[in-house]
Amino acid sequence: MSRGFAKTVLASACACVLSMTLAQGAYAAQTLRLAHTAATSHAHHEAATLFAKNVTERTKGEVKVEVYPSGELGDQPALAEQVTMMALDMAVVSLGNMAMYSKKLNAMTAPFLFADYDQAHKTIDNFVMGWMNEGLKSHDSLGLSMFDYGLRQTTTKGVVINSAEDLKGLKIRVPPSTGLLAAFDAVGANTQKIAYSELYTSLKQGVVVGQENPVFTILADSLYETQDQLAMTNHYFDCQVLLINKTVFEGLTDEQQAIIKEEAVNAQNLTRERISQGEAAVVEELKKHGMNVTYPARDSFVKKMAPAYEKVAELAGKDAMDELLAAVKAAQ
């Protein structure tokens, strides 16, 4: 073998090794940060932790997921903004908060939209996910799955709720969601917009008499310490999207993307199991903490909701509202 030929072979081998190294570097191990606002005792944290564990294991450590619970990286509007700006990789965010990026998502804040969990799940799987992602394309975001947060219920201190009439004039904290505010305004409640971080103290000090949340939140955040009445109003199905920055997602290999999609659905299904199937047990636990439980007539609320639907349609757009209502009807 001539010296010149040997040099050529050596140079080719070095180039090949360099090429392989660069190719491997393109998909180097990376860590995704996933933030949510739920307590560590909540099903959302369990689901996020399961997602992180399974993604790390199935990608053999090529993709690791770090979970930041309890609002460590900010409240939901802040988390949504961070994901859209690529300052955060992933987050769990309500559709009400994502409506600032796609106005049609306001339609999902309409009260009494779903009769039960099954109808909500069918609508989300068959329609909402694709419909939502169409609106998020221009904001560098992708919804991977939808975590159940639960049907929202109403609690008070000393006021028994048997019908919509019992809420008239009641000073109640409602989050800044168009549909929720409009729903309680429609029944004549005195709605107050108070930050969730201040809710417990506000209830304790009597700033407001009532509030509304899923029973899991009422239990996890010990709101039963300030409230003694639980009305199972089922007025709003609350769900939150597992969101990922689209550029970050597209930077992963096809196999890694497939794993993340699959595990996102597995995490979603865990929340559905814990929330929909676990609600009755949580209600029993709240009873043990001294809460009196009532089951108000749904019709007494629904017949008053026309103004609320008008307000939601104004924000979402009539076409978007009609599309969603058609999908809800198809899921009956």
Looking at the predicted structure, is the pLDDT value of residue 134 above 60? yes
Looking at the predicted structure, is the pLDDT value of residue 1 above 60? no
User: Can you tell me the distance from the alpha carbon of 61 to that of 102, in angstroms, rounded to the nearest whole number?
Assistant: 34
CATH of range 28-330; options 3.90.10.10, 3.40.190.170, 3.40.50.1220, 2.40.30.110: 3.40.190.170
Average confidence (pLDDT) over 189-197 = 93
Burial, 233: exposed, middle or buried (Cβ in 10 Å; 0-12, 13-18, 19+)?
buried
Residue 70, pLDDT score: 93
Taking a C-beta distance cutoff of 8 angstroms, is the pair 325, 128 a contact?
A: no
Count of CA atoms in the C-beta half-sphere (13 A) of 30: 15
Ranking 6-15, 171-180, 267-276 by mean pLDDT, the lowest is 6-15
pLDDT, tens digit, for every residue of 47-61? Answer: 999 999 999 999 999
Residue 273, pLDDT score: 95
Of 29 and 231, the structure prediction assigns the larger pLDDT to: 231
Looking at the predicted structure, is the pLDDT value of residue 326 above 70? yes
pLDDT, tens digit, for every residue of 140-161? Answer: 999 999 999 999 999 999 999 9
Taking a C-beta distance cutoff of 8 angstroms, is the pair 251, 29 a contact?
A: no
User: Can you tell me the distance from the alpha carbon of 171 to that of 192, in angstroms, rounded to the nearest whole number?
Assistant: 7
Whose CA is closest to 243, among 112, 106, 147, 124?
Answer: 147
In this prediction, residue 25 has a pLDDT band, given cuts at 50, 70 and 90, of: very low
In this prediction, residue 228 has a pLDDT band, given cuts at 50, 70 and 90, of: very high
Paired sense of beta strands 292-294 and 90-94, if any: unpaired
Average confidence (pLDDT) over 222-235 = 98
Whose CA is closest to 159, among 296, 308, 285?
Answer: 296
Whose CA is closest to 289, among 155, 191, 142, 193?
Answer: 155
In this prediction, residue 6 has a pLDDT band, given cuts at 50, 70 and 90, of: very low
Contacts of 267 (CB under 8 A, 6+ apart): 47, 48, 50, 51, 145, 147, 242
Residue 27, pLDDT score: 56
Whose CA is closest to 302, among 192, 179, 187?
Answer: 187
User: Can you tell me the distance from the alpha carbon of 48 to that of 35, in angstroms, rounded to the nearest whole number?
Assistant: 9
**Alpha helix stretches (DSSP H) within 66-223:** 76-84, 95-98, 117-123, 129-136, 178-186, 199-204, 215-220
Whose CA is closest to 160, among 150, 151, 152, 170?
Answer: 170
Helix and strand tally (H, E) in the chain?
15, 9
Ranking 12-26, 62-76, 120-134 by mean pLDDT, the lowest is 12-26
Q: What would the DSSP string read from start to end of 60-79?
A: TTSEEEEEE-TTTT--HHHH
The amino acid that residue 4 corresponds to is: G
